[in-house]
Amino acid sequence: ERLEREKTQVQFDNLKNQLNPHFLFNALTSLNSLIFEDQQLASDFLQHLSKVYRYVLQHKEKGLVPLQAELEFIQSYVFLLETRFAHGLQIEFCIPDCTRHKEIVPVTLQILIENAIKHNIINAARPLAITISADQNYLTVKNTLQPKKLIETSNKQGLENLTSLYKFISPNPIRISSEEDSFIIQIPLV
């Protein structure tokens, strides 16, 4: 069981490392465009990008972080995404204060949001809507379902590795479901 847990942690770490270069490339491309269009927005974008990477560096060795810390981090990440996708992306948070002391694995929200972006069409005519909510036991990420026909960079390991990791952290399983027009992932809060 210990070896399986270590293997799962390594797979999860590899997943985080795969997302980071892809995300950084997209962020730098967006920043390059902003420099010429709107210098103040470019400066704000760079500050939020710095906060995202500071969080990743500060928490990369931690097994769990308070949900409040993850939410503060994800606000900077969402700023970057909303700058990049403009009206094509809508993210709403419904997190009660009573759940903010609970814990999750660092960058879980980044992985789930990136998963929704990677697998769905995003444009102003059909915005991708993501709702992040919580109750005492679960953090829920729900997005509109508008699948891309071709997914360029998917290794189909993200949710699988996250599910394996949470098996060792919580007695409650990750729940993955879909409805006619939405995809839902529920992460156990520890």
Using one digit for the tens of pLDDT, what is the confidence trace for 12-38? 665 555 556 667 777 888 888 889 889
At 157, the pLDDT band (50, 70, 90 cuts) reads low
CA-to-CA separations, 135 to 8, 65, 102, 187, in angstroms, rounded? 27, 17, 10, 11
CA distance 17 to 32: 23
Q: Whole-model pTM?
A: 0.84
Looking only at the bridges linking them, the beta strands covering 175-178 and 103-104 are unpaired
pLDDT of 80-105, one tens digit each?
Answer: 999 989 899 999 999 999 999 999 98
Answer whether residue 108 shows pLDDT above 60.
yes
pLDDT of 114-126, one tens digit each?
Answer: 889 989 999 999 9
Q: Both tokens of residue 68?
A: 């409040």
SS3 content of the chain, % helix, strand, coil (to 5): 55, 20, 25
Note whether 88 and 51 are within 8 A (CB).
no
The secondary element (H helix, E strand) that includes residue 146 is none
Tell me the torsion sign for CA atoms 163, 61, 94, 46: negative
